[in-house]
Amino acid sequence: MTTKHGPLTSTNDADVPRGNLSGFKKYLKNDLVAGGLVFLIALPLCLGISIASGFPAIAGVFTAIVGSILTTFLSNSELTIKGPAAGMIVIVLGAVTSFGYTGGLDAAADMQAYQMALAVGVVAGVCQIVFGLLRAGVLGDFFPTSAVHGMLAAIGVIIMAKQLPVAVGQSAKGEPLEIIRELPQTLMGANPEIAVIGIVSLLILFGMAYWKGRTKNPIVKAVPAPLLVLLVAVPMGLWFDLAHEHTYTMMGHEYSLGEKFLVNVPFNLFGAMAFPDFSVFTNGETLPAALKWIVMFALIGSLESLLSAKAVDMLDPFRRKTNMNRDLVAVGIANTAVSCIGDLPMISEIVRSKANIDNQAKTRFADMWHGVFLLGFVALLPALIHRIPLAALAAMLVFTGFRLASPSEFMSVYRVGKEQLVIFVTTIIAVLATDLLIGIGIGIATKFAIHFLNGVSLKSVFFPYLDIAEDVDGNVTVDAAESAVFSNWIAFRRQLTAASLAKGKGVTLNLSRTKLVDHSVMEKLHELDEEYHHAGVELNIVGLDGHKSLSNHPMAARKKVAVS
């Protein structure tokens, strides 16, 4: 196994930007500009995610404001942007729905469901703090890649199914498969003028994505597509006079328009605050659901956040590493804080973080500046937010959902291996048919079943077999036996790095006696190779010549070839 290392931006640690007072001053311009550009992307997404989650629109913006400012000083993650994420929509909406959310039919019931969900958010945030203190950040390495991607793709399908009707002036309720089954009939009842706004917004989003992928023009690449959508959708909403209740007739059908198709925001920011209803834990009828959603909030939210932070670290041109445990504590504190004042849960968000990197952010203060810009906007221009059509925000979420579950995702997984596609598709179907927690559990169980079929012994599923030796010259050799799979990787990595990297020594890892090295471990070894390289020592991986790759992909699983 060979790895090509990209050039490090700086080999002198003194030149690496850091989020301290010196870095704040030195990179103020870079971080201010990046934070401002990320703000343009974040504003509509925060509004749309919040509405889709069954929370007040402004709650998502407050999450980004409070969360970004808090985590800037609590986490050492230099380039991640914290805020509400589309991946959490399904969980938050599921929680409020289980507590009696009616989608606007009963304002009192909706408020109670919202406040009960806030109480769940508070406890889940505390759980995340405990996870970080117990150094559970490493658990992000346990979940197999294909199952996680399958879960995210299923979330994407659910988001598209629920937001497509909103983009055409309708609504969708029920279980995911039920919504998908009724989607054609729902779309047939579209409100034409609202549908025009939604369709134009979708054309802009998909058109800009296509254009950016095929042009080198820096101006085109710098234009935030969500901002362009707002620049078009807001005037369209004014043209259709959505601010006033009225009806119109088209092809013999009468349709209504009015403020219900615009974002509803309070003009008093303090009046928008709400507080948790902890009676959800004392009521025997709501307690089981509350406990379930605490697990979902804490586990899935932590997993998404860890995976996003890891992805951002790999994109960081300075190869800075996030302390995942510290980041979990920071996210947990921020989630506890925002839940106490009526806001959505947050994670490290990958799309905005990627935009942050692309816009030349240097330190974590870019995250803070994006929150400051959001605060200034909602404080000074709440009336402008009220002019945003809901159909435009729904279109943005449909686009986000499509990116999570696009055909290219299926093809990418297939190229890694047919068995990975089986896990991926199984997880998607399981999530759609049950829920996120059960669905990803079924995906992991499928992964185990495939490993057993490939000859992995039960005794090596969770415990690696490593023989560690060091010769008189200090050269470290690690011989692995049985299997190197996702479920034993945490212990595998711990023993490997303790014998070498922690001592500043290189190591030769011999995998010749393993029966299977799965795709997740192949990816982790690639990441670990980068880590050794950055530390100035060598990770030499040998012994895979006697293994058969399950596909032509460099990260494909490797299975030991039987010698006849």
Ranges of each domain in the chain: 47-404, 408-453, 458-560
> Angle CA(134)–CA(140)–CA(145) in degrees, nearest 5?
165
Check whether 11 has a pLDDT greater than 80: no
Bridge partners, 481 (sequence order): 465, 513
Average pLDDT over residues 514-529: 94
Amino acid at 488: N
**Which residue's entry shows tokens 């050039």?**
7
26-84 per-position pLDDT tens digit: 999 999 999 999 999 999 999 999 999 999 999 999 999 999 999 999 999 999 999 99
Write down the mean pLDDT value for the chain: 92
pLDDT digit string, tens, across residues 48-59: 999 999 999 999
CB 463 within 8 A of CB 488: yes
**What's the rounded mean pLDDT across residues 375-403?**
93
pTM for the model stands at 0.90
CA gap 420, 147 in Å, rounded: 9
Burial class (CB in 10 A: 0-12, 13-18, 19+), 282: exposed
Helix segments in 54-106, DSSP class H: 57-74, 89-98
Q: Is the pLDDT of residue 152 over 60?
A: yes
**Angle at CA 216, nearest 5°, toward 213 and 217?**
110
CA-to-CA separations, 293 to 88, 121, 155, 285, in angstroms, rounded: 12, 9, 16, 14
Average pLDDT of span 243-264: 94
Banded pLDDT at 222 (limits 50, 70, 90): confident
- Rounded to 10 degrees, what is the CA torsion of 372, 376, 377, 378? 100
Q: Which residue has the tokens 């240097």?
A: 362
3 pLDDT above the threshold of 50: no
Does residue 380 surpass a pLDDT of 90? no
Question: Model confidence at 382, in pLDDT bands (50, 70, 90)?
Answer: confident
Q: Could you tell me the sign of the dihedral formed by the alpha carbons of 195, 197, 203, 206, in that order? A: negative
Topology of 458-560 in CATH?
A: Transcription Regulator spoIIAA (3.30.750)
Extract the tokens encoding 396.
């943005």
pLDDT of residue 4: 43
Q: List the end-to-end C-alpha distance of the chain, in Å, as a whole number.
A: 25
